[in-house]
Structure 1
Amino acid sequence: MVTPAASTDQILYKPEEAATVLRIGRSMLYEQIRLGRLRSVTIGRRRLVPPEYVAEYIALLKRESQAAA
């Protein structure tokens, strides 16, 4: 499990770690990646999520929330 203190030190999150940070399920995380809403990188066959892509996704959610209000 990822703690807030540990999450700031990581360079790349495993999908399960990124899902924990975002407080969503693993399936939802992969769906967001598939839709292009959350970017990720691949190294070989591994998919990883840089923290800055998590921050971009959060900013997207904020913009969508403000637009809906």
Structure 2
Amino acid sequence: MVQNNSTENLLTVAEIAARMRVSKMTVYRLVQSGAMHGIRFGRSYRVTETAVQQYLEAVNSGH
């Protein structure tokens, strides 16, 4: 079992969509395509704030 001692917040798809001003479907597509790293919990996903920030930085830098 891997333990993560990080206290980083996990965001829901709805929270990310609201922050990025996109639809929830767009966030699902980003996670499912691997463009944004997400963790699957049953039928839903959670994404760390760091993963969201990394995605936005990559998009803004043109990569």
TM-score normalised per structure 1:
0.69
RMSD value over aligned CA atoms?
1.8
The runs of 4+ residues in structure 1 deviating greater than 6 Å are none
Question: Tell me, which stretches of 5 or more residues in structure 2 are unaligned?
Answer: 1-7
Q: Name 1:42's counterpart in structure 2.
A: 40
* 2:10 corresponding residue in structure 1: 12
1:9-62: CA deviations, max 9, x gaps?
x71111110111111100111111121111111234431011000101101111
Higher fraction of strand: 2
Counterpart-to-counterpart distance in 2, 1:29 and 1:57? 11
Match of 1:60 in 2: 58
Q: In the alignment, what sits opposite 2:25?
A: 27
Distance 2:45 2:33 in 1: 15
User: Percent same amino acid at aligned positions?
Assistant: 20
Q: Quick check: which one's helix share is greater?
A: 1
Alignment: residue pair count:
56
